[in-house]
Amino acid sequence: MKVYLLNPPFLPRFTRDMRWQDTGRGGTLYYPIWLAYATGALEQAGCDTRLVDTPAWKWGMPEVMADIKQYRPDVVVVDSSFPSLNNDISVSESIKESFPGIKTVMVGAPASQFSNKMLSSLGVDMVARWEFDFVLRDLMLAMMNEKNISDVKGISYKNGIITHNPDRELSTSEELDNLPFVSQIYQKHLNVKDYMLTYSHSMHPEVQIFTGRGCPFRCTFCSWPQTLMGRKHRVRAIDNVLDEMEWVEKRFPQVKQVFIEDDTFPIDSKRVMEFCSKYKERGLTIPWGGQARVGLEYETMKAMKSANCMMVDVGYESGNDTILNNVKKGITTDKIRAFPKEAKKAGLSIHGNWIIGLPGETKETIADTVNMIKETKADAITVAVVSPFPGTEMYDWAKQNGYLTTDDPNEYLDEHGHQKSIISYPELTDKEIRENVDNILKNYYLSFSYVPIAFRRVFSHHGLNELKVLWRSAIAFLRYISKHE
C-alpha cells in the first residue's frame, strides 16, 4: 500500500499545526508534525509512504500533481486546518478529478467537526477523525488485509450514505511508546533547515517532538484538546523520550535543539525530575525547550536548566483576573507575576504568549495586559487575535451570544494569511481587537525598551544563533507591519 501524505498548498509559509494558524508574523514555520507521526505509524504498519510539505517546499498544485503522478499512490491523505478548510477540500477534489482511482482521506482538527462537509465533496472518500495517526494506521491495515472498513473506529466514509463509525479510543502511553521517533521521519522525508521557531533561545535547525498528548486543563479557547488530542493526559516513558533525544544527538547532527510541543510537558514535576536526572546520567548535551504553564515550581525549573533546558514557552493569555477566570485558565495575575521571576532565577529564557479578545475583553482589560507585558519582560512574546475554533467551548459561547462576525472558519484570516478578529463585542469591536494586537507587538519589539533584551539574547552563550533568529524574525515582522499600516 502506497500512501501519499500531503500538507497541501495554501498561503506561503502557512502552518496548519500551530495552535493559532497563521503565515507566521515572525517567520515561524512548524513541521507538519501530525502528518509526520502518521507517516511513522503507517511505515511501521508496512506501508510505503511519501510525506510532502508544500509550504516548506514552496510547491503549488502543479508540483503536487506531477509528484503524485510519479509516485502513483493508492491513497492520498490531505491535511486540513480550520482557516484553510475550503482550500484543502478543493485540493482533494483536484487530486480525485485527475486521479479517480486514488482513495482520498482528509485529516486534521476540522475532521472531528466537519466530516459531513468534507464527505459532501465528490473529492473526499474518507475522513479520519481525532488522533488520525492511529486511525489511519488501522484503516490502512484493514484495506491491505481486505477487511471491512465498517469495523475501523474513528473514520467517516460514504457507503451510499455518509457513515460515521464510532470514535477510536484515545491513544495509550504504551501506544505512544511504540510509535517510531518523529525525528526519524523528519530526517527521512524533510529538510530540517526549512523549519524555524522564533522563540528566544530557540536554536536553528531544531526538531519538534511530543512526549505526551492531551491536556487536562479546561481552557475554553484551546482547540487541540477539544478537537484533536482530547483532554486525557497520557505520556511516553521517560527512557523512550530520552532514547529519541539521544538518537537526535548522535544520528541527526544538523539538529541543534529539541523542542517539546506537549501542551504542558512539566505538568508532572516528578516526571520532569526523572527526565532531567536521566538526561544527565546519559551524558546528553543537546539543548531543549518546551511548553510550560504558570505555576511551575522553581526547583523544577532549576533542574530543567541543569539538564540543558534553554527556554520555556508559557501561556499567560491576559493580565486581568476576570478574563483568566472567564476562560477557565486556572491561574491568577499574581502567579503570572511570580513566574518570570522564578524562571529567570533558574536561568531560563521565556517566550510569553498573550491573547487579545477573550470573553469579557474591554479597552481597560487590554490596558491591564499591556501593563503585565511590560512588567513580566519576556525575552520574546506572541500576541494572538483570539480565534474561537469550532468544537471549542469558546466558539459555542461566542455564537450563542451573537459575538461572531462570521461562523465560517475559512474567513479567519486576511488576504495576507494573518489573523483577523472574527469576534466583536459591544465594548470592543473586531477592528479594535486587531489594531490592539498590532500596536502591542510594535510597541514591544520596535521600542528602545527591547534593545537590552535583544542584546542579552545576542550576547548569550548561543549568541550567533540568537542573532540569526532575531534577524530572520525582524525581517518577517517588518514585512507583516508594512502590510497592515
- Sign of the C-alpha dihedral, residues 276, 282, 285, 291? negative
The C-alpha cell at 101 is 482511482
**Domains of the chain by residue range:** 2-130+132-164, 182-483
Taking residues 307-322, report their average pLDDT: 96
Q: CB–CB of 236/260 below 8 Å? A: no
Residue 474 CA to residue 310 CA, distance in Å, equals 21
β 206-209/257-260 pair status: parallel
Buried-state track 216-245, b at ≥16 Cβ within 10 A, e below 16: ebebbbbbbbbbbbbeebbbbebebbbebb
CA 369 to CA 107: how far, in whole Å? 36
Measured CA to CA in angstroms, residue 388 lies from 115, 122, 221, 381, 394 at distances of 19, 29, 6, 21, 6
CB neighbours of residue 35 within 10 Å: 28
Q: Give Cα separations from 209 to 31, 35, 57 (angstroms).
A: 10, 12, 21
pLDDT at 251: 97
- 209-255 pLDDT, tens digit per residue, is 999 999 999 999 999 999 999 999 999 999 999 999 999 999 999 99
For residue range 60-100, list pLDDT tens digits in order. Answer: 999 999 999 999 999 999 999 999 999 999 999 999 999 99
Q: At the top level of CATH, which class does the domain 2-130+132-164 belong to? A: alpha beta
CATH code of domain 182-483:
3.20.20.70
pLDDT surpasses 60 at 475? no
Predicted local confidence at residue 465, as pLDDT? 64
Average pLDDT over residues 347-362: 95
Q: Which of 446, 433, 431 is nearest to 480 (CA)?
A: 446
% of the chain with per-residue pLDDT over 70: 90
Q: And the C-alpha cell for 137?
A: 494506521
pLDDT at 23 over 90: no
pTM of the model as a whole:
0.93
The percentage of residues in the chain with a pLDDT greater than 90, rounded to a whole number, is 80
Confidence of residue 49 (pLDDT cuts 50, 70, 90): very high
Residue type at 128 in one-letter notation: A
Instruction: Report the candidate in 217, 216, 218, 214 with the shortest Cα–Cα distance to residue 229.
Output: 214
Mean pLDDT of 165-180: 97
Whole-angstrom distance, CA of residue 286 vs CA of residue 284: 6
Name the nearest CA neighbour of 108 among 206, 229, 277: 229
